[in-house]
Chains A and B, each alone.
Chain A
């Protein structure tokens, strides 16, 4: 059973994602057909170009911690979705739908539902 920090990684194959059809660049490295729900603790939030980054520690049932790096788009595009420089902060417990890297590295693209400290963050449409 997952502990409070959240150690569940759920494969949600074939789920439609809400991101735009075309990514800025480099989207071919991510597996957009298999979305993953990642639960963990934010360690860093980087509001910069070319992509905003959210770094999240994810602990498994054995207590091992994987340090994930998750990218969004650039700050201007994220602003149009309602994000700000303060959307995340270190220590936030989050649940994020992502497209993981095809090569299985702990890197992904934020793609869908976002929950921060138990509250769903609704992006602007």
Chain B
């Protein structure tokens, strides 16, 4: 067989095989629809009884400026460039206690908001690739979740920063005197066939509530409801109660839709690597520091 013929056959094979390889790869690292794709979309399909299992997309940018119901932004979304010590003037202020306000000022967020600092000056746990813990993992860029349900647990896997949660549904009570954990201790129960309620306690006080640097204490209680309003939609609500830091409970997320993805939807990973973050800080964050004397 001549060399030219062999080369020609190889080229034909390459052209023929490459679309097949591409088609195989399309099964992996699936990208959810843009948020705009959900605009006007009505929940549809019958909801199964007492079932949250599946792959759910929350449209990724929720909470980037803090808990969505109370973003750290001035009216009209202004103030994202930061520079302020506290949240005076934000559109929907939180009911801080004196201790809550003091704790807030110690946290230096790098996300867009009225208190944003330069990346290299932040003490955000996320900026060190520390575990986010709960509820921070749900109050910053809530993206796509893989929910697995067993007879005794609901397990939520979030490839964004490699988070997971275990919610016990076996009837146990929350621990009375827990050793604090990043993700706390979660128990869940069905209020009716389509509404799942979760209560979480025992979170580490050093973790943040959200990407705007809101603080919490050892008294934090997070109540969630997952309301399956249709086969393809859960409405998700989160309430924060922490009498040390906030004078009254407040909603962080209010009936935000989670959209059901295909059951073969492969969620891309988005992990925080300390060495990659250190390199980013060296090459980008440190050189762009606005006021070097602030370091």
Contacts and interface: CB of A to CB of B under 8 A. Distances in A.
Interface of A: 20-30, 48-51, 53, 69, 71, 74-77, 79-80, 101-103, 105, 107, 125
Contacts of A125: 34
Contacts of B29: 79
B31 A76 contact: yes
Contacts, number: 101
B249 interface: no
A26 B290 contact: no
Contacts of B288: 26, 29-30, 101-103, 105, 107
B273 A49 contact: yes
B209 to A, nearest CB: 17
A69 B82 contact: no
B74 interface: no
User: Size band of the B side of the interface?
Assistant: 35 or more
Given A28-B117, A53-B280, 14 more contacts: A22-B64, A25-B111, A25-B119, A25-B127, A26-B110, A27-B116, A28-B116, A29-B285, A29-B290, A50-B280, A69-B283, A77-B60, A103-B292, A125-B34
| B interface, over-half SS | loop
B264 interface: no
B272 A49 contact: yes
B77 A21 contact: yes
B277 A49 contact: yes
Contacts of A77: 60
Interface in B221-269: 268
Nearest to B267: A76
